[in-house]
Chains A and B, each alone.
Chain A
Amino acid sequence: MDEITTLRENWDTAPPSADARDRARAALLTRIARPAEAPLVSARPAGVPVVPARPRKRTAWAWRTGIATAATSAVLGALFLVGGTDAPTPAPAPGARDRPTATGAPTRPAIELAAAYASGQPFTAPRPDQWMYVELKSQSPGGMARSKGQQTSSTVRFWRKADGTQEAWPDDNGQVRISPTTGSTPQIPVDYPTLAALPTDPAALITRLRELIEKPALHPSVKTPSPLDKLPEAELNAATFHAIAGILSNTLLPPDVTAALLQAMGMIPGLVQAPAPETIDGRPMLSVGAVTEGWLRQDVLLDPQTHAVLGFRDVAVADHTRDVAGKKTLIPNGEVQSLTFRTAARFVDAAGATS
């Protein structure tokens, strides 16, 4: 039993009294009955998300899978639609390879070539006692990081045991600390055994990922999800894209699973592909991405020759004003918000080992 479970299971509390509940409900109904133009609570509690205006604020799912943030500047050209249509896609058709693309788009989208490349890579399955070592290097010079006071560059190293039981992260002193695999309730699994066993059929895979993402985050006592707890289709698509990008970034998986992830990514409606490579971090890369919230595109960056996955990027595709506690930060169109490259991914014999 890990300490989270221990804390959860050893700290019961009595249910609220009926009297307290009735008083609280009555107070709420009184407030509801008050005319809308009456003064309301003026100060927003710190940290409580607010939607200032449409388009909505950037949602936290962009951080869901733990891709570190980063950036450079880039001039973005026209993009080709390579994903599905905007129609709901509860069960995408397996024949995505045959889906027509926008006029002028490559006859075979880069994301499919990336899947083909991934499927041919050598791979030796790890022993259960081995650890997956991953190193990510990130830059984040954009306005989003500035508004949050984040570092502009960082290197993240972590280890996850191949049997799925443990993970290890360096502490503030650089000492690698082993702990049980995070027991918080991630919608997308992070452990190797679960991820390696994901469906290799891309349609089944994307359905599985959507189920995980859509799983209502409700209290166990709630039996019927409310519309308030459902993700809208556009956000679900963006979350699916980001979930796949996160798995690709953070995990070393068998080639057939990696290929299926990329094929599944190619099925996401609204996916766009740059018409030509651009120079990013000193080398040509081809981007394939999904626009979210009308101003931010998340990209997977590919080698234009081999179509190997090289990295991940968040880039503004429209001017956007970010408002954090009343402090406004303009994020101009074209400004890269994050750029992340996986600089190491291999199986090693111990947590802390890098080779």
Chain B
Amino acid sequence: MREDPEGFAVVFDRHYPAIHGYASRRLGPDLADDVAAETFLRAFDQWERYDVSQHSARPWLYGIASNLISGHQRAEARRYRALARSAGAEVEAPADLDGRLDAQAVRARLAEALAGIAPSDLEVLLLIAWAELSGEETARALGIPAGTVRSRLHRARTRLRDALGGADPTAMEEDF
């Protein structure tokens, strides 16, 4: 593949929006610009050693992005806490006419929950929820066994579920 490096631009065109979107959800749009750009630079530098003909490029790219995002752990935690605070009023507000929490309130609760999840568990949860990787792809992206992915996901989901107060936070009439 290195014989045709210009071909890597195709990888960029195909995956940049998704990688940027993932980084933006975790870090906000400004840092996402940097992380997404750096992801593809690093990917290109590793391209010669990474056998893209044998693997989907997607988990590989998310693995690089995850590693870069982990360097902004404090910024990410601050972002979640800020989001939780900014919508704090809505969390306490009564349910709307449908008996459902409005999206902003749900997001605030999610942010509060995400801020309390261990980084290693959070990384797995968000690759599955936001990057929409499978468990196997997440294992490949992070270079960890699938069993570890499962246990980390279980812990993260449990924390998230507990923080949300039940299985379906959008329909918790009794709780709110």
Contacts and interface: CB of A to CB of B under 8 A. Distances in A.
Given A31-B44, A31-B45, A16 B157 contact: no
A242 to B, nearest CB: 10
Nearest to B57: A228
B80 to A, nearest CB: 11
A51 B47 CA distance: 10
A49 B150 contact: no
Nearest to A144: B145
Contacts of A44: 46
A63 B49 contact: no
A304 B155 CA distance: 41
Contacts of A279: none
Interface in A36-93: 36, 40-41, 44-52, 56, 59-61, 63-64, 66, 68-69
B153 interface: yes
Given A6-B170, A16-B33, A217 B58 contact: yes
A184 B128 contact: yes
Contact of B24 (A14, A40, A45): A14
B63 A48 contact: yes
A63 B141 CA distance: 13
A14 B29 contact: yes
Interface residues of A, number: 70
Interface in B15-43: 15-18, 20-21, 24-25, 29, 32-33, 36-37, 40-42
Given A3-B160, A24-B40, A13 B67 contact: no
Contacts of B56: 216-217, 228-229
B21 A15 contact: yes
Contacts of B17: 15-16, 21, 219, 221
Given A7-B110, A49-B140, A41 B41 contact: yes
A335 to B, nearest CB: 18
A36 B1 CA distance: 13
B135 A182 contact: yes
- Report the interface size class on chain B: 35 or more
A152 B99 CA distance: 50
A229 B52 CA distance: 8
Contacts of B153: 182, 184
A68 to B, nearest CB: 7
Contacts of A184: 128, 133-135, 138, 153
A28 B158 CA distance: 40
A197 interface: no
B94 interface: no
A319 to B, nearest CB: 20
Interface string B139-176: 11111111100100111011011001001111100000
A13 B107 CA distance: 12
Contacts of B54: 51, 56, 59, 232, 235
B147 A13 contact: no
A14 B168 CA distance: 26
Given A11-B25, A66-B150, A219-B18, A28 B50 contact: no
Interface in A189-248: 216-219, 221-222, 226-229, 232, 235
A28 B29 CA distance: 19
B103 interface: yes
Given A16-B24, A56-B51, A228-B52, A27 B37 contact: yes
B45 A40 contact: yes
A36 B44 CA distance: 11
B6 interface: yes
A107 interface: no
Contacts of B160: 3, 7
B76 interface: no
B115 to A, nearest CB: 13
B89 interface: no
A15 to B, nearest CB: 6
29 contacts: A1-B168, A2-B167, A2-B168, A6-B164, A7-B110, A7-B125, A10-B106, A11-B107, A11-B110, A13-B24, A13-B29, A14-B29, A15-B17, A16-B16, A17-B29, A24-B36, A47-B143, A49-B50, A51-B50, A60-B136, A63-B147, A66-B150, A177-B154, A184-B135, A186-B135, A187-B134, A217-B137, A226-B11, A232-B53
Given A10-B103, A28-B8, A45-B68, 19 more contacts: A2-B167, A6-B106, A16-B17, A16-B20, A25-B9, A28-B44, A32-B44, A36-B2, A49-B60, A50-B46, A51-B50, A59-B54, A63-B146, A148-B145, A186-B134, A217-B137, A219-B15, A219-B17, A228-B11
Interface of A: 1-4, 6-8, 10-11, 13-17, 20-21, 23-25, 27-29, 31-32, 36, 40-41, 44-52, 56, 59-61, 63-64, 66, 68-69, 148, 150, 169, 171-172, 177, 179-180, 182, 184-187, 216-219, 221-222, 226-229, 232, 235
